[in-house]
Homo-oligomer: A and B are copies of this chain.
């Protein structure tokens, strides 16, 4: 190969308009040529002057690229005799890098772990709109047009244009002290929790709270009582922690504790934890009765088990007043870890939630948090603390409560006009969605999964209730309750009629 021919042969070529500096372009092309074997070990490179001339660039550009390749060991310089491709590059690597031409030399990439394969295979109900535009009937989606982003953007700017040094440095592993104090105040006042700010851990949402609690409180193989149907987001963290799920039915008073005791006896081992949403069971909306709450706490005390209380949308209650949280009933018992999130009350991409842990778990949770994730991201925390402390949060919740109550009524009214014979809806005193049962007539034609797919084809999100069952899609034994989740919080009243009409058409 003539030295002059090396440039076209290796298809070297520089683009002055590209973002990458010229020397870096040349470096990359030469390195690629060496790794792919087009420039072989021991081969001599043309002089920098010659290369510069061929490439139409300055000699400094060429020297910059060659210096880098020399420093990295791809090239060797012999004083007075030019620059050569290194012979110490292991040949097998060069061969392996020839690409598709030599596939026999390629070993397959390593495999995921067994845990990883199971994690990767978890599916979630289609709760989010696919196109990303429509809001009917996405469960748990708040009304984003109603959120005071002007205030929010102003608060962010206020804290970050001239942050105090403590804000920019490493933070407390449990979160911004101002935010934890604001959360503790709120929970004490509104939810009757027994909580001091140091018991509050800021998380990226309920899921991360479950993830932290599961890894700290459970060992592989430990049994965990779960509501069935229930919040699907629990499953990843519990699976990753190696827990054994014990799905239990939910009746009109909440999780069936008696079924759990029976399952424990059958399996010869008490569960180590129960995960419940007593304020407003997800997705059914049942409120756990006081008697059932006390029964659950009594079981936990006997069994030495933990209770994870997910209080995910306790803010939106339209009638009556919420029952006291399990955490408050257990005060002093040290058995309840309480989970909350701002994603549904404010906006989903905020990703701020919190854990309230018993006093005895504060130090272990601090150590584990620091060991696993250092501390939560600071950007939104001071703004959220001010949003709560300055009253914007309470005002927003009040406004949204009135708005969502009106939307639930609009959904019920439209359903009464349009969905007769298809879906059965009942009012709910709380929440952001209703469970619409398939009528026997519709259930004779469609499963809820099929009904949900028809809605999706019409641009409507209406996840099937069966997707929240623990054994996803399984319909062995008694036929499972067939229904659709209809989120109404993000659907303006004026659009409700049209959206419900679309659903009726899709199901007819």
Report the minimal beta-carbon distance from A301 to chain B, rounded to whole angstroms: 5
Which of A230-252 touch B at CB < 8 Å? 233, 235-237, 239-240, 242
Q: Which of A7-15, A207-215, A401-409, A419-427 contacts B (4 or more CB under 8 A)?
A: A207-215
Q: Are A71 and B321 touching (Cβ within 8 A)?
A: yes
Q: Is the CB of B334 within 8 A of A207?
A: no
Q: Which chain B residues lie closer than 8 Å to A107 at the CB level?
A: 301-302, 304
A372 touching B113, Cβ below 8 Å = no
Q: Are B109 and A358 in contact (CB under 8 A)?
A: yes
In the bound complex, CA of A109 to CA of B289 (Å)? 24
Selecting from A50-58, A88-96, A257-265, the interface stretch reads A88-96
Which one of A360-368, A442-450, A451-459 is at the interface? A360-368
**A305 is an interface residue with CB less than 8 A from chain B:** yes
Chain B residues lying within 8 Å of A361, measured Cβ to Cβ, are 112
Shortest beta-carbon distance, A218 to chain B, in Å?
Answer: 5
In the assembled complex, how far is the CB of residue A120 from the closest CB belonging to chain B, in whole angstroms? 4
Is the beta-carbon distance between A112 and B216 smaller than 8 angstroms? yes
Q: Is residue A318 contacting chain B, with contact meaning CB distance below 8 A?
A: no
A169 surroundings in chain B (CB, below 8 A)? 128, 132, 141, 144, 347-349
Question: Are A204 and B204 closer than 8 Å at their CB atoms?
Answer: yes
> B157 near A153 (CB under 8 angstroms)?
yes
Give chain A interface residues in 244-295, CB to chain B under 8 Å. Answer: 272, 289-291, 294-295
Q: A380 within 8 Å of B by Cβ?
A: yes
Contact among B72, B347, B368 for A324, CB-based, below 8 A: B72
CB distance from A282 to the nearest CB of B (A): 15
Q: Which residues of B are found within 8 Å of A67, using beta-carbon distances?
A: 321
Query: B205 touching A220 by the CB < 8 A rule?
Result: no
- Contact present for A320 and B237 (CB under 8 Å): no
Residues from chain B with a CB closer than 8 A to the CB of A367 are 119-122
A449 to B290, CA, bound (A): 55
A379 and B379: CB pair below 8 A? Answer: yes
> Contact check: which of B115, B162, B348 meets A215 at CB < 8 Å?
B115
Contacting residues, chain B, for A352 (C-beta < 8 A): 377
| A215 shortest CB reach to chain B, Å | 5
Q: Does A493 contact B (CB under 8 A)?
A: no
In the assembled complex, the CB of A382 is this many whole angstroms from the nearest CB of chain B, namely 10
Which A residues have a C-beta under 8 Å from some C-beta of B? 19-20, 24, 27-28, 31, 35, 67-68, 71-74, 88-90, 92-93, 96-97, 99, 106-117, 119-122, 124, 128, 132, 141, 144, 147, 149-150, 152-154, 156-163, 165-171, 185, 189, 192, 204-205, 207-208, 211, 215-220, 222, 233, 235-237, 239-240, 242, 272, 289-291, 294-295, 297-298, 300-302, 304-306, 320-321, 323-324, 329, 331-335, 347-352, 358, 360-361, 363-364, 367-368, 370-380
| 27 pairs of residues in contact across A and B, judged by CB atoms under 8 Å | A20-B189, A72-B323, A90-B294, A92-B298, A96-B301, A97-B331, A109-B333, A115-B216, A116-B218, A119-B367, A122-B367, A122-B371, A124-B371, A152-B161, A153-B157, A154-B161, A157-B157, A171-B348, A207-B374, A208-B373, A211-B373, A220-B242, A235-B371, A236-B370, A236-B371, A349-B378, A351-B376
Interchain residue pairs A-B with the least CB separation, the first 8: A236-B371, A153-B161, A349-B378, A109-B334, A157-B157, A73-B290, A351-B377, A116-B216
